[in-house]
């Protein structure tokens, strides 16, 4: 997976460390949504679809595909 994404890193972020920060923040967001769905499922109120893949892999793919927007705040 790392070999295929290395070529696209410069188009999405300045470097891989920035990419990791953005993807990790997005993974936390996805995981919070997943836990909320899990809580609804345990309550038995509704049937929900829960993502089976790891949230870090999902987040990295979504960032690399351009589905996640972010802004750099430290620029002049």
Domain boundaries, the chain: 2-64
pLDDT by residue, tens only, the chain of 76 residues: 455 667 777 778 888 888 889 999 999 999 999 888 888 888 776 666 777 788 888 998 899 888 988 887 776 5
How confident is the model at residue 59, as a pLDDT? Answer: 92
Distance CA 58, CA 53 (A): 7
How confident is the model at residue 76, as a pLDDT? Answer: 55
Helices (H), 1-76: 2-5, 9-12, 16-43, 55-64
pTM equals 0.75
Give me the half-sphere count of Cα atoms (radius 13 Å) on the Cβ side of residue 37: 12
How confident is the model at residue 49, as a pLDDT? Answer: 72
How confident is the model at residue 34, as a pLDDT? Answer: 87
């Amino acid at each position: 997976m790392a070999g295929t994404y290395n070529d696209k890193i410069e188009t999405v972020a300045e470097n891989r460390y920035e990419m990791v920060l953005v993807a990790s923040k997005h993974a936390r967001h996805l995981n919070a949504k997943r836990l909320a769905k899990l809580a609804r499922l345990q309550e038995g109120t509704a049937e929900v679809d829960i993502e089976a893949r790891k949230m870090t892999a999902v987040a990295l793919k979504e960032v690399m595909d351009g589905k996640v927007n972010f802004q750099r705040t430290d620029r002049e």
